[in-house]
Amino acid sequence: MCPSIGCRWAGEVADPWNAILYRAHVYLWHRMPNNYNSDYGYQTKFLGGLFEDSAYEVVLGFVEYVLRDEECPKGLSKEVAEVLTETRAAYRVVDKDTIVPLVSEEEIKAIELAIGSAGKADMEGARIHLRNAASEASAGRWADSIRESIHAVESVAVRLAPGTTTLGPALAVLAKKVDIHTALQQGFAKIYGFTSDKSGIRHALLDKGVADVDEADALFMIGACAAFVSYLIAKGREAGLIK
């Protein structure tokens, strides 16, 4: 926080940061509105402690919240992205306001392409699921991330195959309308089966406290599902299913 982006060195925090921090106080940290302190010194100390002492998922969650705020200062997204790259952090910014764990630059580009393709194809559901998958992974919630990833694919598939409600039947219908290689169709049907078999991903936990998946599983699913979303949209456009 600094004067160049709307703050003063003394007194109260100036807008837009005062409004952003107030909303974070209430909606991100779920604290009582009347307990919010707009004093600049207090907020400087509080945020300094948050960045120095909090777990990475707390810090990244706050940064992502700010980037998604309607009053986020122009250019902040670019600055955050540059800092993450320059410091070789294991995270990157995609879609201007979503922080995703870094596997490779190529996979980051695949995620950005899929989110952009879904937006252009008016498939907001798939776009939201991919953004959520990235956010959940950044927070270390691997099962939730996997669920959002596969839902992104499912969202596109059922849109292209009206009358279906789940991925398996949707892919079977699409195979008759577009040129989808049998191996790809079967491969994603099996991946969908994996998310169904692992308790706590698409279904309720049974005998364990957490789903039996880890970071590697979640990051693989984000990359694979993002690529398949772009693939399905491209195939749907070629077949005239998307205007």
Domain contains 184? yes
Residue 154 sits in the same domain as residue 68: no
Task: Give pTM, 2 decimals.
Answer: 0.77
Residue 150 sits in the same domain as residue 197: yes
Residue 192 structural domain: 103-243
**The last residue of a domain, from among 24, 52, 73:** 73
d(CA 110, CA 114): 6
d(CA 156, CA 12): 47
CB 105 within 8 A of CB 117: no
pLDDT of residue 104: 76
Residue 148 sits in the same domain as residue 204: yes
Domain contains 88? no
Domain contains 80? no
Average pLDDT value for residue range 14-29: 96
CB 60 within 8 A of CB 81: no
Q: Classify burial at 237, counting beta carbons within 10 Å of its beta carbon; exposed 0-12, middle 13-18, buried 19 or more.
A: middle
Closest among 72, 152, 75 to 119, alpha carbons compared:
152
At 197, the pLDDT band (50, 70, 90 cuts) reads low
What does each C-alpha distance from 189 to 13, 72, 195 come to in angstroms?
52, 40, 10
Residue 42 sits in the same domain as residue 133: no
Domain contains 17? yes
CATH code at 236? 1.20.120
pLDDT of residue 10: 56
pLDDT of residue 181: 77
Domain count, the chain: 2
Residue 62 sits in the same domain as residue 107: no
d(CA 225, CA 130): 8
At 210, the pLDDT band (50, 70, 90 cuts) reads low
Closest among 91, 88, 186, 96 to 138, alpha carbons compared:
91
At 7, the pLDDT band (50, 70, 90 cuts) reads very low
- Read off the pLDDT of residues 136-181 as tens digits, 9 standing for 90 and up: 998 888 888 988 999 999 999 999 999 998 888 888 888 888 888 7
